[in-house]
Structure 1
Amino acid sequence: MVYILNTRYEIFYRNRKDDVELEDADGYVDFYNKKIVICNLDDWTNTTPKAIAERMKETLRHEIIHAFLFESGLSTCSGYTDHWAKNEEMVDWIAIQGPKIHEAWKSAGAI
């Protein structure tokens, strides 16, 4: 479970074969039922356990970013930029760089 702007989201780990939404995705957010779903570790193949764990964390961060953008009202009100707040590349960038940004803030005394 995680709180996104004071809204409780449950986190679920599911197998691809049991969830049609995971057929073409490693995770997703069900904004209306307040669920974040991540593809189970067992469904990740051809890589090391450490790489799998990192990929799952990155996917969880990615979905949390989507939830933040939704809860803040930005997911559908992105102006004239074709819903920039749903742009997968932007969300990926935040999810991938987030730990580095946090570390920089921390080392600079900004947290």
Structure 2
Amino acid sequence: MKKVNILGTLYKIYFDTPDEKLPEGCDGCMDQSIHQIRIAKLESSRNSLMNLKEYKKKVLRHEIIHAFLYESGLWNNSGGAESWGRNEEITDWIAIQSPKLFKAFKEADCL
């Protein structure tokens, strides 16, 4: 288990989570109610990606971003903008928060 600081809130990261402890069809999830990030147990098969180590890091980064959006207050307040991905607000948020994001990624060893 690892821990990562998300804007002052400590999240525990659990790896190799069994499928029954994740939402159906997910390789990772963030549960803001208990400050946890869970990453699936990824096993190599002929139908899987070849580089599961890098894929696991990608999934972890994705879940950390969810946690940052939640802890920033953007989780529940993002429905008022059209073309949300092009909105200046999210651009500024990423620009302002990126040093903290990179620190969290480094703490979680997912760069």
The TM tier, using the shorter chain, reads 0.5 to 0.7
Query: Residue 19 of structure 1: CA displacement?
Result: 1.5
Query: Residue 78 of structure 1: CA displacement?
Result: 1.3
RMSD between aligned residues: 2.6
- 1:2-81 matches, cutoff 5 A: 2-13=4-15, 14-16=17-19, 18-21=20-23, 23-42=24-43, 44-45=44-45, 46-48=48-50, 51-81=51-81
SS in 1 for 2:30: strand
Percentage identity across aligned positions? 40
Q: Relative CO higher for 1 or 2, CA cutoff 8 Å, sep ≥ 6? A: 2
Matches of 1:73 and 1:47, distance apart in 2 = 34
Matches of 2:30 and 2:63, distance apart in 1 = 6
Query: Residue 15 of structure 1: CA displacement?
Result: 1.8
Structure 1 consecutive aligned stretches of length 4 or more whose deviation exceeds 6 Å: none
Aligned residue pairs total: 83
Query: Residue 31 of structure 1: CA displacement?
Result: 0.3
Query: Residue 63 of structure 1: CA displacement?
Result: 0.1
Higher helix share: 1
Query: Residue 79 of structure 1: CA displacement?
Result: 4.1
**TM-score normalised according to structure 2 size:** 0.64
